[in-house]
Structure 1
Amino acid sequence: MVDALGIGLGALFTLIAVSLHYTRGTEWTPTEDISEDVLERRAASVPKTDFPEPMNRSIGGGGAAAGAVAAGEGEGELEEGGAAAEGDDDPSAIPDDEAEVFEIEYTKEGQTIEVKENETLLEAGEDEGWDLPYACRQGQCISCSGHIADGGHSEDYVTHHTNEMLGDEEMSEGYTLTCVAYPTTDFTLETGESP
């Protein structure tokens, strides 16, 4: 009797579920998307300024610093003379056919690869398919830092195009920022090591 009752109730619930599935509902309609209107009203409420837009300031976003003056506008120290134009000392500007090649041993990756003097240590590792740590790619954090295991000052082995995080003390211990470090000789590198 219990089996017949259970089978009967199961069949009844199944029929109810099937009939509910095939019946027409109230047909839900989505509400109107007002996000664009809200953004336009907010933008209209912000007063206009003469400052250029600050680019993307997220980690790894890059771009110019907030409030930077566009080229040719205004007067400043760099424009009046003395300082070299940005990019003049950038090793990445060296043509590939003129760039020297150095043997860099990546100890944690277990390989020695050839790295051109116009390529950063991070880029060279990524070209090999390695998942090396980084964040800003501009020398403004230590996410990509590494340690030159050959001893001595890191500037004896690499040129940092920009370096806003490592001081002379850390570099004298052999630490480097792989995202902005261009090799100048052969050496051994331990990636993912920070001071």
Structure 2
Amino acid sequence: MVDTLGLGVGITLTLIMIVFHFSKGTGWQPREDISDEVLEHRAATVPETAFPEPMNRSIGGGAAGVGAAVTGETEAEGELEEGEEAVGGDDPSAIPDDEAEVYEVEFVKQGKTIDVKENTTLLEAGEGEGWDLPYACREGQCISCGGHITNGHAEEYVEHHTNQMLGEAELSDGYTLTCVAYPTADLSLETGESP
């Protein structure tokens, strides 16, 4: 009942597999892993960047747009030309805490009024209270952190530092970017509102 031909073929194939298993092979050795060297080389060719904190609240958020903020330095010498001002020279966050004025900001949706120093953004002040406010770039290059000042024209109540998204029409309607908006007067703010 046993097919001798089938049995013979099975035994022969088994023996061939055993021989291949215990043979030394061709002597081929894998090349040394160079992935670390490649990564180091690539890292050396990419210029250093200063990214804000991880962009965990938006899809693709945080990428610098066209016309991102410039340093204000000349490329050749690294110094400012005569009469040229450094970008960021009027940054309200540079005001020392003991010299900063304090304003009352009503966060309408949160139902609370808090004191905010003129050197603190509206977004930072809200986060300081433990509120989960929307944001993405933290540089005024998107509208994820948008808010609406119910008092009137935004520029009468806040100073925008590096606002690149809101035009005069939006500002006159009271819209603001909370990530770059520093209070200059008492105001009421609705967070999560975009033009």
TM-score between both structures, scaled by the size of structure 1: 0.67
Equivalence for 1:140: 141
Asked whether the 8 Å contact 1:87–1:93 carries over to 2, the reply is: no
The 1-side partners of 2:86 and 2:173 are apart by 31
Residues 42-191 of structure 1: matches in 2 within 5 Å?
A: 44=41, 52-56=47-51, 59=55, 74-75=76-77, 79-151=80-152, 153-191=153-191
Among residues 14, 38, 44, which one is paired with 1:41 in the alignment? 38
Q: Partner of 1:79: helix, strand, or coil?
A: coil
After superposition, give the CA deviation of every residue in 1:76-131 in whole Å (9 maximum; x if it has no partner): 8x722222123320111111111111011000000000001010000000110100
Q: Do the aligned partners of residues 74 and 42 (structure 1) sit closer, same or farther apart at CA in structure 2, a change above 3 Å counting? A: same
Q: Partner of 2:189: helix, strand, or coil?
A: strand
Q: Do the aligned partners of residues 56 and 37 (structure 1) sit closer, same or farther apart at CA in structure 2, a change above 3 Å counting? A: farther
State the shift of 1:173 in Å: 0.5
- The code of the aligned residue for 1:179 comes to C
Equivalence for 1:4: none
The 2-side partners of 1:159 and 1:70 are apart by 20
Q: Do the aligned partners of residues 184 and 52 (structure 1) sit closer, same or farther apart at CA in structure 2, a change above 3 Å counting? A: same
- The code of the aligned residue for 1:106 comes to F
Q: Do the aligned partners of residues 149 and 52 (structure 1) sit closer, same or farther apart at CA in structure 2, a change above 3 Å counting? A: same
The 2-side partners of 1:177 and 1:69 are apart by 21
State the shift of 1:168 in Å: 0.8
State the shift of 1:190 in Å: 0.2
- The code of the aligned residue for 1:38 comes to S
After superposition, give the CA deviation of every residue in 1:5-45 in whole Å (9 maximum; x if it has no partner): xxxxxxxxxxxxxxxxxxxxxxxxxxxxx9x732423655x
Asked whether the 8 Å contact 1:52–1:69 carries over to 2, the reply is: no
- The code of the aligned residue for 2:185 comes to T
**How many equivalent pairs are there?**
155
TM-score between both structures, scaled by the size of structure 2: 0.67
The 2-side partners of 1:69 and 1:92 are apart by 17
State the shift of 1:55 in Å: 4.5
State the shift of 1:166 in Å: 0.6
Q: Do the aligned partners of residues 69 and 101 (structure 1) sit closer, same or farther apart at CA in structure 2, a change above 3 Å counting? A: closer
Asked whether the 8 Å contact 1:158–1:185 carries over to 2, the reply is: yes
State the shift of 1:56 in Å: 4.2
Structure 1: segments with no counterpart, 5+ residues: 1-33
Equivalence for 1:26: none
Equivalence for 1:192: 192
State the shift of 1:53 in Å: 3.1
After superposition, give the CA deviation of every residue in 1:149-181 in whole Å (9 maximum; x if it has no partner): 112x20000000110111111111100000000
Q: Percent identity, aligned pairs only?
A: 62
